[in-house]
């Protein structure tokens, strides 16, 4: 179809799906659903290509998700750097780990490439447009769309909210509010010119301290991405995130990129959070918009992509024949697939914020790299693919995702068991829903 470009034309179309947010989660849902010949509108408040505070590393699990979606070619096409080493430092110790192959690609390029795949599949993309849910009725959702010229109301069968941790699409709908972990760290980052020999390509450098951590990686264009998760009070004491990051890198004896403190740094809202509800009347929440933990293990994009792939199947079924059962099933599948992984990520960040435990862990990893196996397991695909394929199969055979729900339960249990075994009983206690006291 000819794509409308003005909001007034957009508002006259009956959309099967509106996706609010064109990060990896939203763009992938738009791509998958548009492939099924549905009328999909993808909107993002930012003008693309846009950068984002992120370590810019796609782990092996994210790669598997892109392969499953049939768009892994975007990495090679955009000269993504292969990443196979992880060098973790604190002020006293350092360990180098071989990790399952991942990729480093700037978010401006990666996110635009996924959006481009959605457009090629037939989705209509509107950058520079903010979405707000006005009302969700039994027959449709009504969404307000606002760009710099106009404000319109637009109806769709289904709304997917993929607006990340800072999105306001569901603002004012109290049942969807976020619960933010008290004293959650905030994210900050910058992209810096890459001094030629400053850091090796293909290695993620991570500097860890009590008050936060800083990651560095070389990008496809030779620049260096610096991304940090910092305690707010520490950042204030240091005079801002750039100075705080510099202090942590220096304490770990890692090289300081030129212009680190002079560059333009961007920050995020508090990171660790969870929404009260992940679905409702004709609404599905995917990616960080559902919940986010810590960036230390660099899994956020893979969580976003897998949750998008899994949700897409339910969204297509919901467009064809809406029932609240689909929303309930999404909530349960999403919890079971992602929550365990996010708890593990929080647990590892908690361990690394404790000076003695961190140094001891690094010393242990240096002597016996195999101790990293529980962390490395999470970087691989590990069960997500099976869940998505089972869900496809169930829906193709007339089910509503209930079997996948059971599968989600099984996978969640399997992952928890695996990690419980590997990390030991005292650690499983700390993987509860409660924030870990030492971490923040
Ligand atoms: C410091 C740091 C380092 C990280 N490093 C890594 C890493 O190395 N590897 C990794 O896998 N993950 C990493 N992550 C996590 C990763 O960045 C996120 O998990 C990932 O971007 C989530 O994707 P998403 O699509 O859910 O949300 P986002 O990528 O945040 O996309 C949300 C989009 O929604 C748009 N939006 C917001 N509100 C609206 C609205 N009302 N209407 C329309 N559009 C809206 C925004 O403009 C944005 O484009 C890191 C995070 C941080 C903070």
Q: How confident is the model at residue 401 (pLDDT cuts 50, 70, 90)?
A: low
Whole-number average pLDDT of the chain: 87
pLDDT tens per residue, range 360-386: 999 888 888 877 776 676 667 667 788
E-assigned strands of 12-129? 15-20, 40-43, 57-58, 81-89, 94-104, 124-126
Name residues whose C-beta falls within 8 Å of residue 239's C-beta, 6 or more positions apart in sequence: none
Please give the number of the atom of ligand 1 that sits closest to the Cα of 288. 26
Q: For residue 165, how far is its CA from the centre of ligand 1 (angstroms)? A: 7
pLDDT tens per residue, range 112-146: 999 999 999 999 999 999 999 999 999 999 999 99
Location of structure tokens 């897409």: 312
DSSP 8-state symbol, 295: S
Q: What is the pLDDT of residue 370?
A: 79
Q: How confident is the model at residue 433 (pLDDT cuts 50, 70, 90)?
A: very low
Q: How would DSSP label each residue in 262-274?
A: TS--EEEEE--EE
Q: What's the mean pLDDT in 257-261?
A: 87
Measure the CA–CA gap between 306 and 119, rounded to whole angstroms. Answer: 20
Length in residues, the chain? 440
38 has pLDDT over 80: yes
Q: For residue 310, how far is its CA from the centre of ligand 1 (angstroms)? A: 18
Q: How confident is the model at residue 337 (pLDDT cuts 50, 70, 90)?
A: confident
Q: Which of 19, 30, 48, 55 to mutate to test the pocket of ligand 1 (most atoms within 8 A of CB)?
A: 55
Q: For residue 229, how far is its CA from the centre of ligand 1 (angstroms)? A: 14
Q: Which of 7, 107, 304 to mutate to test the pocket of ligand 1 (most atoms within 8 A of CB)?
A: 304
- Among 215, 219, 217, 222, CA closest to 249: 215
pLDDT tens per residue, range 265-316: 999 999 999 999 999 999 999 999 999 998 998 999 999 999 999 999 999 9
Q: What is the pLDDT of residue 425?
A: 32
45 has pLDDT over 90: yes
Cβ burial of 205 (10 Å; 0-12, 13-18, 19+) is: buried
Whole-prediction pTM: 0.90
179-188, 350-359, 366-375: range with lowest mean pLDDT: 366-375
Q: Which of 227, 269, 301 to mutate to test the pocket of ligand 1 (most atoms within 8 A of CB)?
A: 301
pLDDT tens per residue, range 66-100: 999 999 999 999 999 999 999 999 999 999 999 99
Q: What's the mean pLDDT in 31-58?
A: 97
The more confident residue out of 193 and 92 is 92
Q: What is the pLDDT of residue 306?
A: 94
Ligand 1 surroundings by CB, under 6 angstroms: 20-26, 43-46, 52-57, 62, 130-131, 162-164, 167-169, 187, 189, 227-229, 268, 271, 287-289, 295, 298-302, 304
Phi and psi for 438 in degrees, rounded to 5?
-70, -20
Q: For residue 325, how far is its CA from the centre of ligand 1 (angstroms)? A: 28
Measure the CA–CA gap between 359 and 384, rounded to whole angstroms. Answer: 32
Q: What's the mean pLDDT in 192-198?
A: 82
Please give the number of the atom of ligand 1 that sits closest to the Cα of 301. 11
60 has pLDDT over 50: yes
The more confident residue out of 420 and 22 is 22
Q: What is the pLDDT of residue 118?
A: 98
The answer to whether the beta carbons of residues 295 and 186 sit under 8 Å apart is no
Structure-token pair, residue 396? 């193709």
What domains lie within the chain, and their CATH numbers? 7-181+272-430 (3.50.50.60)
Q: For residue 304, how far is its CA from the centre of ligand 1 (angstroms)? A: 8
Q: What is the pLDDT of residue 369?
A: 80
The more confident residue out of 406 and 18 is 18
Q: What's the mean pLDDT in 355-364?
A: 91
């Amino acid at each position: 179809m000819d794509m409308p470009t003005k909001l007034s034309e957009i508002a006259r179309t009956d959309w099967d799906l509106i996706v609010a947010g064109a990060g990896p989660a939203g763009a992938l849902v738009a791509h998958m659903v548009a492939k099924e010949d549905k009328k999909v509108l993808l909107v993002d408040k930012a003008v693309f290509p846009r950068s984002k505070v992120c370590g810019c590393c796609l782990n092996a699990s994210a790669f598997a998700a892109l392969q499953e979606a049939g768009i892994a070619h975007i990495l090679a096409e955009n000269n993504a750097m292969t990443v196979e080493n992880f060098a973790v430092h604190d002020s006293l110790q350092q360990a180098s780990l071989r990790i399952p192959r991942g990729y480093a690609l700037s978010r401006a390029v990666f996110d635009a490439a996924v959006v481009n795949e959605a457009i090629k599949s037939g989705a209509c993309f509107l950058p520079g447009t903010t979405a707000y849910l006005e009302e969700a009725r039994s027959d449709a959702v009504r969404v307000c769309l606002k760009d710099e010229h106009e404000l319109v109301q637009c109806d769709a069968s289904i709304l997917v909210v993929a607006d990340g941790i800072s999105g306001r699409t569901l603002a004012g709908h109290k049942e969807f509010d976020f619960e933010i972990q008290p004293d959650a760290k905030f994210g900050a980052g910058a992209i810096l010119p890459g001094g030629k020999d400053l850091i090796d390509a293909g290695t993620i450098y991570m500097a860890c301290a009590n008050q936060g951590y800083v990651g560095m990686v070389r990008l496809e264009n030779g620049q260096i991405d610096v991304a940090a998760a910092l305690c707010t009070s520490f950042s204030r004491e240091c005079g801002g995130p750039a100075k705080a990051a510099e202090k942590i890198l220096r304490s770990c004896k890692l090289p300081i990129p030129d212009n680190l403190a002079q560059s333009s740094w961007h920050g995020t809202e508090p990171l660790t959070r969870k929404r009260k509800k992940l679905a409702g009347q004709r609404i599905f929440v995917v990616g960080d918009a559902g919940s986010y933990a810590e960036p230390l293990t660099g899994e956020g994009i893979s969580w976003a992509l897998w949750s998008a792939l899994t949700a897409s199947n339910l969204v297509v079924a919901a467009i064809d024949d809406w029932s609240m059962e689909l929303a309930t099933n999404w909530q349960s599948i999403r919890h079971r697939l992602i929550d365990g992984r996010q708890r593990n990520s929080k647990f590892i960040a908690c361990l690394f914020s404790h000076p003695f435990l961190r140094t001891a862990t690094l010393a242990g990893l240096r002597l016996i790299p195999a101790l990293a196996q529980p962390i490395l397991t999470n970087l691989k695909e590990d069960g997500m693919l099976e869940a998505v394929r089972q869900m496809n199969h169930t829906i193709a055979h007339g089910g509503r995702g209930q079997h996948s729900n059971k599968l989600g339960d099984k996978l969640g249990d399997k992952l928890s068991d695996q990690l419980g075994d590997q990390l030991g009983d005292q650690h499983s206690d700390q993987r509860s829903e409660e924030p870990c006291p030492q971490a923040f």
